[in-house]
Amino acid sequence: MISVRNLTKRYAGHTAVDDISFEVDRGEIVGFLGPNGAGKSTTMRILTCFLSATRGTASVGGFDVFKDSIEVRKRIGYMPENVPLYDDMRVKEYLHFRAQLKGLRGRSARHATGEAMDTCSLQEVRRKMIGTLSKGYRQRVGLADALVNKPDLLILDEPTNGLDPNQIRQVRELIKRLGERHTILISTHILSEVEMTATRVIIIDKGQIKASDTPQNLIRRLHSSGTVHLEVKAAPGQVIEKIESLADVKTAIHISSAQDWASIDIHPCSNVDIREQLFALSREQNWPLRELYRDTASLEDAFVNITGS
């Protein structure tokens, strides 16, 4: 669906995208991640024909974004980070207008408008002025706009920007459903959302592709067993000394103490689960044990590790 080869975009004194290549297959949900200023939005704007490139090629659905931009735009639904909406239009009126701009007419435009409103749960506000809508509903209108012409590819730039946790969850479920019918390229800083929705992740940093794999494989590359949290009733110094004597422990750090209960964070060696050893040690030392659990590595950990942030 998307094919990018040796794509470069330079501004005066700055290279935003530096010789990147990647592909997105039909039916994939791909998270396009990177720190601020990494080149994500620039790449998306090139793919949606808003920007030209300095060098390289990019195509969508087999059509070159520079030579066949009209054909590319027919196949793309784009939702930018800050959705530009006409505040003095009603929701239904605006979406119908956008459908007509995208080449739909008459009954087809009306049907597409109704279907987009149904998909994004906008029927109850269809007669309201866009300027009166909450941030959550404005994001839904932007998403409905991207969907109204039933594009093959959805490009979503920070679709949950400014939403509260309930709204983020609703958008996440909607993206999952849309992934059954569309190819989706999504950029967001909420990595837990990508971990739950994306089939693959591309990480870009300083204009270059640093990783491209499934979220699970990126996490697995860390070779990390996560941090183990232990809370026992004992002197912190004694606890740390005993724990660090275990062969599979790198470090143990005293986090806090409250009423003789010591909280310790333990960093084990790679791919070792030391919880059984810690439980056995607590019994052996007669330490009353109140808490023992492990934080496993996440996509956020992989992101920080790869980008060096």
Domain at 252, CATH number:
3.30.70.3190
pLDDT value, residue 218:
85
Looking at the fold, whether 79 and 160 belong to one and the same domain comes out as: yes
- For residue 303, tell me if it sits in a domain: no
- For residue 89, tell me if it sits in a domain: yes
Looking at the fold, whether 40 and 129 belong to one and the same domain comes out as: yes
Contacts of 87 (CB under 8 A, 6+ apart): 129, 130, 131
- For residue 307, tell me if it sits in a domain: no
- For residue 304, tell me if it sits in a domain: no
Could you say which of 220, 252, 285 is where a domain stops? Answer: 220
CA distance 86 to 74: 22
Could you say which of 179, 196, 220 is where a domain stops? Answer: 220
Looking at the fold, whether 238 and 101 belong to one and the same domain comes out as: no
Structural domains of the chain, count: 2
Residue 68 is part of a domain; what is its CATH number?
A: 3.40.50.300
Looking at the fold, whether 201 and 231 belong to one and the same domain comes out as: no
CA distance 41 to 161: 14
Low pLDDT (below 70) residues in the chain:
222-225, 270, 309
CA distance 125 to 104: 23
Look up the pTM and report it. 0.79
Looking at the fold, whether 67 and 23 belong to one and the same domain comes out as: yes
Contacts of 196 (CB under 8 A, 6+ apart): 172
- For residue 309, tell me if it sits in a domain: no
Looking at the fold, whether 145 and 239 belong to one and the same domain comes out as: no
Looking at the fold, whether 116 and 165 belong to one and the same domain comes out as: yes
Give the structural domain span for 8: 2-220
CA distance 150 to 304: 36
pLDDT value, residue 121:
87
- For residue 210, tell me if it sits in a domain: yes
Could you say which of 186, 220, 254 is where a domain stops? Answer: 220
pLDDT value, residue 127:
95
Cα-to-chain-centroid distance, residue 212:
13
Per-residue pLDDT tens digits for 98-128: 999 999 999 999 999 999 999 888 999 999 9
CA distance 201 to 174: 19
Looking at the fold, whether 68 and 166 belong to one and the same domain comes out as: yes
